[in-house]
Chain A
Amino acid sequence: MMKPFWKWLLAAWMGATIGATFLFVPPEARGFEHPRAYRILFYHVPMAWVATLAFFVAMGYAIQYLRTRQPAADDQSAAAAELGLLFCTLATVTGAIWSRLEWGQYWHWDPRQTSMAVLLLIYGAYMGLRGAMADEEQRARLAAVYAVLAAATVPFLVFVIPRVFESLHPDPVINTQGHLKMDVRMMITLLMALAGFTGVYLWLHRLRVRLAQWERRGRERWLE
């Protein structure tokens, strides 16, 4: 159980991270139309990272559900997919704003933008699938199968397609040549942001699972 101490630590960590994105990192970065706005990186990249992590967590628990048929595993899988969808939406929105600044338009059908939009559709459909079925056991089984299939597309959409097609999107942090091309202060701040937003995700995930357990308890209680 996460004690309040960890919540305060997380809040302090995120406060320090936000402060670092304005005060610690170099004031400007080369190679951008708007050299100060590169700070969006410290928010946009963690959103995409957490979304990818959450989709794989959803797959892991979906496999666990299919093996054990424990409703708790379904709760975990559903919570991860829902949060993955939230963070994927935020990655898309922050990316669109950055795109407007750097490329002049919110949407370019850039391979990375398009693959994130496809992920939004895939996991939006997952939420629709869950909402459309009343029978809990059937919903959990079908959603688990869908979550596994959906996560199988994630490596292609996130890692392969953006590297195969021509893209305006900057190289990933570790680029195709395997080189790190980033100032040390930027790298420290990016790692802080990645760790902090991962912590926020884990906290929200835990709360979402608890809510799902309460909902189940309520349904069982009122069906008696």
Chain B
Amino acid sequence: MVMDLYVVLVINLIIWVALFGYLWRMDTRMGELRRALEDSGEGAREDG
């Protein structure tokens, strides 16, 4: 049934939303830290 393939697509979606959500959360936090460190004068020595 085609419906079964939709379920596989939904599972794909759940996994990638979770993984990219985690990545996005890390990226946001890293951006905050980079700005805070730059404001305090240390600057960012590494790329994200």
Chain A interfacial positions (CB closer than 8 Å to B)? 18, 21-22, 34-37, 39-40, 43-44, 47, 86, 89-90, 93-94, 97, 101, 200, 204, 207-208, 210-211, 214-215, 217-218, 221-222
Contacts and interface: CB of A to CB of B under 8 A. Distances in A.
B interface, by DSSP: helix, strand, loop or mixed?
A: helix
A39 B5 CA distance: 8
Given A36-B1, A221-B40, A22 B8 contact: yes
Nearest to A34: B4
A207 B40 CA distance: 23
B41 to A, nearest CB: 9
A37 B7 contact: yes
Contacts of A217: 37, 42
B29 to A, nearest CB: 6
Contacts of A93: 14
Contact of B14 (A36, A90, A210, A221): A90
Given A215-B33, A218-B36, A37 B18 contact: no
A97 B42 contact: no
A97 B15 contact: no
Contact of B29 (A35, A44, A94, A211): A211
Given A94-B15, A210-B46, A22 B5 contact: yes
Nearest to B19: A200
Contacts of B12: 18, 43
B37 A221 contact: yes
A222 B40 contact: yes
A218 B4 CA distance: 49
